[in-house]
Amino acid sequence: MIAKTAIIDPGAKIAEDVTIGHYSIVGPEVEIGPGCEIGYHTVLEGPMKIGARNRIFHHAYVGGMPQDISFQGERSVVEIGDDNVIREYVTVHRGTMKQNCVTRIGNHNLIMAYAHIAHDCQIGNNCIIANAVNMAGHVIVEDFAALGGMVAIHQFVRIGKYSFIGGFTAITQDVLPFSLIAGERGTLRGVNKVGLQRRGFDAAQRGKIHKAMRYIMNREFLTSTAIEKILEDFGDDPDILEIVNFIRSSERGVTL
């Protein structure tokens, strides 16, 4: 299951049924769980823990040193959950002391070719990260978010769950849950209708989210006024409260 040309450090821990392709390198303190498939010419550096049934394709570089001038060689890690697909030439870098020294990828994510996940990023579950997405450090991507090709994300930005960002978009502020963002500099265009349909949100619930988002997009309202109106209409709805709490907790401001 391990190609003869692969180089495996004695300090690596690899489950018995893992497949590793030709000319790949697995460094010390790399732990690979059962059912994983590692492609050709792939480099895995530790410390790193990879869960079960992940597929890491050819020429990916996972676990590399962070591109952060403040990094002084402190111990930091990458943690990857289960059932992820990481395509060709993806790069994932370890964390720094600024955020618990961990870069984390959850479960059931598709990370397409040439994407970059920088130090201290936190990727949730069931996310789609398209080709050549570039994340700066400390980015948070919540569950079921979808990022189009060549999206560029500023450091410390938070991407809300079930949101969609169109391709070629620059994101410098937080992205609301359930929202649709598009345009060169990223503006709020409405609700991620197609994404919510695919994830099982019924028409009534999508309507509530749409109305709440219209309050936020109304240029005649201050954000505080929009929140008041949203809570008056849907204050007890958990999805609506998700939007309100997201705005209230945002440190960078939200994309409008």
Residue with tokens 């030439």: 89
**pLDDT tens digit string along 141-197?**
999 999 999 999 999 999 999 999 999 999 999 999 999 999 999 999 999 999 999
Read off the pLDDT of each residue in 68-95 and give the average, rounded to a whole number: 97
DSSP 5-56: T-EE-TT-EE-TT-EE-TT-EE-TTEEE-TT-EE-TT-EE-SSEEE-SS-EE
Asked whether this chain's domains 7-141 and 197-249 adopt the same fold, the reply is no
Closest CA to 114 of 171, 41, 61: 61
Percent of the chain, pLDDT > 90?
97
Tell me how far CA of residue 152 lies from CA of 41, 52, 79, 100, in angstroms: 27, 29, 23, 24
Asked about 116 being catalytic, the answer comes back as no
Residues 191 and 208 sit within 8 Å (Cβ to Cβ): no
Which residue is catalytic, options 137, 160, 186, 195? 137
H helices, E strands: number in the chain = 4, 27
**E-assigned strands of 84-226?**
85-86, 91-93, 102-105, 110-111, 116-117, 122-123, 128-129, 134-135, 140-141, 146-147, 152-153, 158-159, 164-165, 170-171, 179-182, 187-191
Asked about 35 being catalytic, the answer comes back as no
Which residue is catalytic, options 95, 119, 124, 160? 119
Which residue is catalytic, options 21, 68, 116, 120? 120
pLDDT at res. 28: 97
Tell me how far CA of residue 82 lies from CA of 2, 50, 168, in angstroms: 20, 8, 29
Domain locations along the chain = 7-141, 197-249
Q: Decide: residue 249, CB within 10 A, 0-12 exposed, 13-18 middle, 19+ buried.
A: exposed
pLDDT at res. 99: 83
pLDDT at res. 116: 98
Q: How does residue 57 score in pLDDT terms, banded at 50, 70 and 90?
A: very high
Asked about 9 being catalytic, the answer comes back as no
Q: Which two tokens stand for residue 101?
A: 């020294």
- CATH classification of 197-249 is 1.20.1180, yes or no? yes
Q: Which two tokens stand for residue 99?
A: 């955020």
Q: Is the pLDDT of residue 235 over 90?
A: no
CA atoms of 174 and 197, how far apart (whole Å): 23
CA atoms of 142 and 107, how far apart (whole Å): 12
**pTM here?**
0.97
Q: Which two tokens stand for residue 14?
A: 């690899």
Residue type, 249: S
pLDDT at res. 185: 93
**pLDDT tens digit string along 92-131?**
999 999 889 999 999 999 999 999 999 999 999 999 999 9
* Assigned architecture for domain 7-141: 3 Solenoid (2.160)
